[in-house]
Amino acid sequence: MKKTITLCVTVILLLCPAIYNQTVTLLGSLNPYPGTKYSDIWGYSDGNGGEYAIMGVYGGTSIINVTNPANPVQVAMIPGPHSFYEWRDMKIHSHYAYVVTEGSGTGAGMQIIDLSSLPDTATLVYTYTATFTTAHNIYIDNGYAYVVGANPGSGVHILDLSNPENPVEAGYYGANGYVHDIYVDNDTAYVSSESEYAVVNLTNKSAPVNISSSTNLPGIYAHSGWLTEDKRYFIACEEFNVRDLTVWDLQDRTNWNLVVPTWQSGSNSPIHNVFVLGNYAHISYYEDGYVVLDITDPLNPVEVGQYDTDPTPSTGDYKGAWGCYPYLPSGNILVSDMQTGLYIVKFNPGVTSVQNENYPSEFKLNQNYPNPFNPSTKINFTIPEDEVVTLSIFNTLGEKVVTLVNDVLTAGSHSVEFGGTGLPSGIYLAQLRSGNNLSTIKMSLIK
């Protein structure tokens, strides 16, 4: 295929001070089934250095070896039921993945996947159907699975996993009606049940007790949430693009004290799911992609990182980043995008550089403009000193399309034109490398 690439490089010294945060970098990506849809994602570590992504796909569950994040490889695909409402959620217990879906028909139920044969393969060993056949979400804690949004029984099904391949229902909780998502810490559950959040005592699995429920906030959908690591604050996502994120003080478990009434990203994207690790909240933020908040002060969340898996303008649609997983031993973060699959990124908190007046002291790759583009777009970047720079373009399969720059450039700002004539429509990645610095942006060519 003939590729027409136009290239121009200009140097412009910046004349004003600025502060730049380069906290999230792309390590690798994989779109194993182009044109299909993806949903949630979870991670698995085999204890021997192997790391894996477990990702929901239309038609099943994809298991991907991400030990080498620059070269993710699918090692197994576990088929599942098909239907319009097919999004999947999964969690890990021992060396098993438990997958639920609202997909109905042949194969419906909670799938139990044995991961002990990785990195070679994974095997479906059982499908649980005793007390429900479809479900929206699952959480696992201390040997129990908590399945919510199920049919029948849309509250909380509590399954004893003492025999991992043959779960037994130990109890059911339905006092809050339909439960969309759940977070469990030992014998306490925090449920998100559409119009309200609730704290539930699970000490007696056969007879859970509601401790308290939150105020009904008009217009929101109590979608999901996660506790801060000191177990005091509940970070909640409301999904209907009204408040986005709220923070509740639960020092007194009998009283839901709303301390952050609303936090929004500034774009028009709705929020989806949040996961807390240390002083950071890792969020799959639909059209905003992967977003990180510093919650050192939970009453004042501050955005400190982002990788946009959906670079098209935000329209308020439910597309883009569905899930993220920040708990791999390597520190790498897994992100699932509904349209383009798996992204492996690295969050580097506190990586900042300050540009002094009249002299660039930052390494920065700006988002291309225009984006989406046809037939060409400009890529602007700055480097702090004279150095060898490479700027390359990759497709979503990780294949290099072209190298635009591979030369010693002078300190300052540079502009490169990338022409997409001869290339198919799709997502392309521009990667800038200089010394130990690496930055990647995502570009959309639409014809």
Residue 4 lies in a domain: no
Domain boundary among 347, 364, 397: 347
Kindly state whether residues 257 and 160 are assigned to the same domain: yes
Residue 2 lies in a domain: no
In this prediction, residue 410 has a pLDDT band, given cuts at 50, 70 and 90, of: confident
In this prediction, residue 361 has a pLDDT band, given cuts at 50, 70 and 90, of: low
| Measured distance CA(156)–CA(13) in Å, rounded | 60
Domain boundary among 347, 372, 404: 347
Domain boundary among 347, 366, 396: 347
> What separation in angstroms does the CA of 298 have from each of 182, 220, 239, 333?
20, 21, 20, 22
The β-bridge partners of 141 are: 144
Tokens of 169: 């229902």
Q: What is the pLDDT of residue 211?
A: 98
Residue 270 lies in a domain: yes
Residue 309 lies in a domain: yes
Kindly state whether residues 340 and 418 are assigned to the same domain: no
Which tens digits make up the pLDDT trace of 313-353? 888 899 999 999 999 999 999 999 999 999 999 998 865 33
In this prediction, residue 96 has a pLDDT band, given cuts at 50, 70 and 90, of: very high
Kindly state whether residues 360 and 378 are assigned to the same domain: yes
Residue 272 lies in a domain: yes
Kindly state whether residues 393 and 342 are assigned to the same domain: no
Residue 402 lies in a domain: yes
Peptide bond into 32 cis (omega under 30): no
Signed CA dihedral, 213, 217, 221, 222: sign only: negative
**pLDDT greater than 90 at residue 7:** no
166: domain range?
Answer: 24-347
| Measured distance CA(160)–CA(64) in Å, rounded | 28
Does 316 or 410 have the greater pLDDT score? Answer: 316
* CATH number of the domain within which 268 lies: 2.130.10.10
Kindly state whether residues 342 and 358 are assigned to the same domain: no
Q: What is the pLDDT of residue 350?
A: 60
Kindly state whether residues 434 and 319 are assigned to the same domain: no
Which tens digits make up the pLDDT trace of 118-169? 999 999 999 999 999 999 999 999 999 999 999 999 999 999 999 999 999 9
Phi then psi for residue 413, to 5 deg, are -100, 140
Kindly state whether residues 335 and 441 are assigned to the same domain: no
Kindly state whether residues 310 and 438 are assigned to the same domain: no
| Measured distance CA(37)–CA(338) in Å, rounded | 5
Total number of domains in the chain: 2
Kindly state whether residues 407 and 422 are assigned to the same domain: yes
Kindly state whether residues 422 and 288 are assigned to the same domain: no
Kindly state whether residues 139 and 244 are assigned to the same domain: yes
Kindly state whether residues 358 and 335 are assigned to the same domain: no
Closest CA to 270 of 242, 311, 241, 245: 241
